[in-house]
């Protein structure tokens, strides 16, 4: 018996046969299209159709030589050799992972140990300036001036091979003082009196382009309880205020004309909200403006783009801290120096023009101002190449709230001890860290 598949042939068919066996041993060897009598050639080669496996093998071999690396690596991954080696690769990756984990834990332990040692010294009031800077470095809170100083200390350590730096205090490199492109602070009240009418129209486009509304929303979502908004300007944040979360709100601005616009906007937006006050005055005079007998304190103090136009931004922040209720927060949305030299150069080169146009010093090192004010920064986020600073700060001595402890800090970043510490009072350390920059230079390294 034999079967003939003829769907791919046209014309009459002949079946050739060969081999000794006939009958049930008959095999179809070749099918040829023939017009007349078919005479098989003695040289005719029998071409066996390729099996599926063979086709797949040939394709795989071609893939292994492919110019396309995705196809090539795909073929390698499918190869038998690779499959056999896979167990070895997985084991190797596992070993690498374990080694990396051990190394990471070792580093973390070393860091924690150093932090603990310096913390103890800070508590005893015997930490030297280098150790205070190391503490900031380990906590990731170094400012530009600290980085410069730390580099100098490291050079001394390398040169002298000593870590005993107790008698050395280096010159400060405060960017806000030594950078001539950061212009001196000035009273901007008259400037904003003149600018008030055109302010909103002037800044709207720029703010829209850099999506500043989103940051203002972030700022105002923190408002709760009794709120003070400093340097409120024309009340650009009012539309992001949730009146159901606040008990009262006080607006403060040095310019009367700016304040009039805020007042109008607030009355229009929230006509039924009665617990509001509009104060014309300076942030630097906040303590004097407050009642001596029954000073008003706040749960939230917010400020947007105000520090750059204050006469004394450090004093303003110190006043905020004094007016804060325990557990209260200071929320700042500011602009200042960025995270990249090229950006800072642009800010520096245009600082004078900016001051003339908008009355602000947009190239200030906000980090330095924060550190000098002695506030404890709970959250610091920077956008727009680091030039927009979103800050949540608290009075030193106040503990962090649970929701303010990030995932990394909670689970990976530090030892249990330092985690507990972050919940509790670390005012002493803040005092010492602040003193790093207020110390008179007793001895300058040669
Ligand atoms: C750049 S505007 C910012 C206004 C507003 N916060 C905003 O985000 O649009 C600066 C504001 O700070 C006010 N200002 C400047 N120095 C101040 C001071 N020492 N105390 C209070 N307000 C001040 C100005 O009058 C002006 O309204």
Q: Does residue 420 have a pLDDT over 60?
A: no
* Per-residue pLDDT at 334: 98
- In short, whether 262's Cβ falls inside 6 Å of ligand 1 is no
Task: Write the residue with the smallest CA distance to atom 27 of ligand 1.
Answer: 233
* Per-residue pLDDT at 421: 56
How far apart CA 167 and CA 155 sit, in angstroms, is: 16
71: its two tokens: 């196809």
The secondary structure of residue 8, as a DSSP letter, is T
Task: Write the residue with the smallest CA distance to atom 10 of ligand 1.
Answer: 306
- What's the pLDDT band for 432 if we cut at 50, 70, 90? low
- In short, whether 432's Cβ falls inside 6 Å of ligand 1 is no
Which range has the worst mean pLDDT, 48-62, 68-82, 152-166, 349-363?
152-166
Mean residue pLDDT across the chain: 85
Q: Three-state secondary structure along 242-267?
A: CHHHEEEEEEEECCHHHHHHHHHHHH
Neighbours of 418 (CB within 10 A): 18
- In short, whether 278's Cβ falls inside 6 Å of ligand 1 is no
Which residue's entry shows tokens 């017009």? 35
What spacing in Å lies between the alpha carbon of 304 and ligand 1's midpoint? 8
Find, among 290, 268, 272, 271, the residue nearest to 281 by Cα: 290
Q: Does residue 165 have a pLDDT over 50?
A: yes
- What's the pLDDT band for 7 if we cut at 50, 70, 90? very low
- In short, whether 307's Cβ falls inside 6 Å of ligand 1 is no
Mutating to test ligand 1, I would choose from 208, 220, 231, 286 the residue with most ligand atoms within 8 A of its C-beta, which is: 231
How far apart CA 278 and CA 251 sit, in angstroms, is: 5
* 282-295: average pLDDT: 92
* 61-80: average pLDDT: 91
* Per-residue pLDDT at 161: 77
Nearest ligand 1 atom to alpha carbon 359: 1
What spacing in Å lies between the alpha carbon of 306 and ligand 1's midpoint? 5
Residue spans of the domains in the chain: they are: 1-49, 183-398
* Per-residue pLDDT at 37: 60
* 285-290: average pLDDT: 93
Q: Does residue 427 have a pLDDT over 60?
A: no
Nearest ligand 1 atom to alpha carbon 229: 6
Task: Write the residue with the smallest CA distance to atom 4 of ligand 1.
Answer: 233
How far apart CA 30 and CA 4 sit, in angstroms, is: 10
* 235-252: average pLDDT: 98
* Per-residue pLDDT at 441: 37
- What's the pLDDT band for 23 if we cut at 50, 70, 90? very low
CATH topology assigned to domain 183-398: Rossmann fold (3.40.50)
How far apart CA 309 and CA 313 sit, in angstroms, is: 8
Instruction: Supply angle C-alpha 209, 211, 215, rounded to 5.
Output: 150
81-123 confidence digits (pLDDT tens): 888 888 888 999 999 999 999 999 999 899 889 899 999 999 8
Percent above pLDDT 90 for the chain: 64
Q: Let me know: does 145 contact 324? Beta carbons within 8 Å.
A: no
φ and ψ at residue 217, rounded to 5 degrees: -60, -45
Nearest ligand 1 atom to alpha carbon 333: 8
- What's the pLDDT band for 431 if we cut at 50, 70, 90? low
Mutating to test ligand 1, I would choose from 254, 256, 304 the residue with most ligand atoms within 8 A of its C-beta, which is: 254
Q: Does residue 440 have a pLDDT over 50?
A: no
Which range has the worst mean pLDDT, 35-44, 66-75, 284-293, 306-315?
35-44
- In short, whether 255's Cβ falls inside 6 Å of ligand 1 is yes
- In short, whether 235's Cβ falls inside 6 Å of ligand 1 is no
CB burial class (10 A; 0-12, 13-18, 19+) of residue 5? exposed
Percent above pLDDT 70 for the chain: 81
Q: Does residue 45 have a pLDDT over 80?
A: no
Q: Does residue 307 have a pLDDT over 50?
A: yes
Which range has the worst mean pLDDT, 187-191, 270-274, 294-298?
294-298
Task: Write the residue with the smallest CA distance to atom 26 of ligand 1.
Answer: 233
329-384 confidence digits (pLDDT tens): 999 999 999 999 999 999 999 999 999 999 999 999 999 999 999 999 999 999 99
What spacing in Å lies between the alpha carbon of 371 and ligand 1's midpoint? 21
- In short, whether 372's Cβ falls inside 6 Å of ligand 1 is no
Nearest ligand 1 atom to alpha carbon 237: 8
């Amino acid at each position: 018996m034999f079967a003939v598949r003829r769907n791919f042939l046209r014309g009459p068919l002949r079946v050739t046969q060969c081999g000794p066996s006939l009958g049930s041993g008959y095999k179809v060897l070749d099918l040829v299209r023939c017009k007349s009598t078919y005479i098989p050639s003695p040289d005719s080669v029998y071409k066996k159709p390729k099996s599926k496996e063979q086709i797949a093998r040939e394709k795989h071999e071609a893939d292994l030589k492919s110019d396309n690396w995705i196809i090539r690596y795909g073929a390698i991954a499918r190869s038998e050799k690779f499959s056999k080696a896979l167990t070895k690769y997985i084991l190797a990756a596992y070993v690498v992972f374990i080694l990396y984990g051990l190394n990471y834990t070792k580093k973390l332990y070393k860091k924690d140990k150093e932090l603990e040692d310096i913390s103890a010294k800070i508590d005893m009031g015997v930490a030297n300036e280098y150790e205070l800077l190391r503490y900031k470095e380990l906590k990731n809170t170094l400012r530009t001036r600290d980085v410069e100083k730390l580099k100098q200390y490291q050079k001394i350590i390398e040169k002298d091979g000593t870590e005993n730096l107790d008698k050395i205090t280096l010159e400060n490199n405060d960017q806000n003082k030594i950078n001539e492109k950061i212009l001196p602070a000035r009273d901007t009240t008259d400037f904003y009196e003149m600018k008030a009418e055109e302010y909103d129209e002037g800044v709207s486009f720029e703010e829209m382009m850099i999506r500043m509304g989103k940051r203002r929303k972030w700022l105002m979502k923190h408002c709760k309880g009794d709120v003070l908004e400093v340097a409120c300007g024309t009340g650009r944040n009012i539309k992001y205020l949730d009146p159901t979360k606040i008990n009262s709100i006080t607006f403060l601005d040095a310019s009367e004309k700016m304040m009039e616009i805020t007042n109008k906007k607030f009355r229009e937006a929230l006509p039924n909200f009665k617990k509001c006050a509009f104060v014309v005055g300076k942030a630097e005079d906040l303590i004097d403006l407050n009642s001596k007998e029954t000073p008003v304190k706040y749960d939230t103090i917010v400020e947007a783009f105000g520090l750059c136009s204050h006469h004394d931004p450090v004093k303003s922040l110190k006043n905020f801290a004094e007016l804060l209720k325990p557990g209260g927060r200071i929320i700042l949305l500011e602009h200042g120096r960025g995270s990249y030299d090229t950006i800072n150069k642009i800010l520096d080169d245009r600082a004078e023009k900016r001051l003339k146009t908008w009355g602000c010093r947009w190239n200030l090192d906000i980090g330095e101002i924060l550190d000098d004010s002695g506030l404890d920064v709970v959250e610091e986020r920077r956008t727009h190449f680091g030039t927009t600073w979103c800050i949540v700060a608290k009075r030193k001595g106040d503990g962090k709230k649970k929701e303010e402890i990030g995932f990394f800090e909670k689970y990976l970043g530090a030892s249990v001890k330092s985690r507990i510490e972050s919940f509790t009072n670390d005012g002493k350390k803040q005092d010492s860290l602040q003193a790093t920059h207020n110390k008179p230079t007793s001895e300058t390294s040669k």
